[in-house]
Copies of this chain bind each other. A is one copy, B any other.
Amino acid sequence: MVAATQDSQALSVERIIDAALTIADRDGIEAVTMRAVGTSLGTAAMSLYRHVPSKDALLELMADRALAELPHPDPAGDWREQIHGFFLAFHDLLLLHPAVARTMVEMTLAGPELSVRGENVLTCLLAGGLDEATAAQAITALTWQTVGGALYALARLNPAHEDRSIRLRTLPKEQFPSVYRVAPFLEEDASRDHFSGALRHLIHGYEPAA
């Protein structure tokens, strides 16, 4: 009649995805092991396999769940602004859920949440006057720019990055004059504004010739 404890609550795909995302956001994607997810739900690791076929499938489900927080670009608005806003939000979301960025490069995602946004993005691009071939190319380019930019920002956030800055400064100044001229901008925090600017350049590159 009365459930013994909250931990003994029925297992479900939803609860498994939630638990895995919590671990990933807190301790990183490498902390997401079937044993750890099981333990956090008070069950054996093997019980998860009744609801999820494999760890890879779980990673995809986690990504699609996180992607559900993305806004929907509005084809009625100015296409440049809609595209810019959407991919900036995408970038922000990947920084919040580093595990999703990693999953996106490991697997080719095509979950329901991403599909719906894809439809809207393509509608915006077509409404902006891009032909079908160019729109296909643009959505790919924008996505990789976003995932790449997020991975780059994430790499700079972790401690191991210090090594890289140090290595940059050990390059002989005479042989690397351009690196030294640009270094202050390469070393500055990979900020939201930085990515936002790159995004505007990319969108500008796809502007149909007037």
Contacts and interface: CB of A to CB of B under 8 A. Distances in A.
Interface of A: 105, 107-108, 110, 115, 118-120, 122-123, 126, 132-133, 135-141, 143-145, 147-149, 151-152, 155-156, 160-161, 164, 167-168, 171, 175-179, 181-182, 184-186, 194, 197-198, 201-206
B108 A201 contact: no
A164 B119 contact: no
Contacts of A182: 122, 126, 132, 135-136, 139
A108 B179 contact: no
Given A147-B148, A203-B205, A197 B118 contact: no
B201 A141 contact: yes
A205 B142 CA distance: 13
A118 B203 CA distance: 24
Given A110-B168, A161-B108, A168-B110, A175 B145 contact: no
A115 B161 contact: no
Nearest to A175: B119
Nearest to A158: B108
A203 B201 CA distance: 9
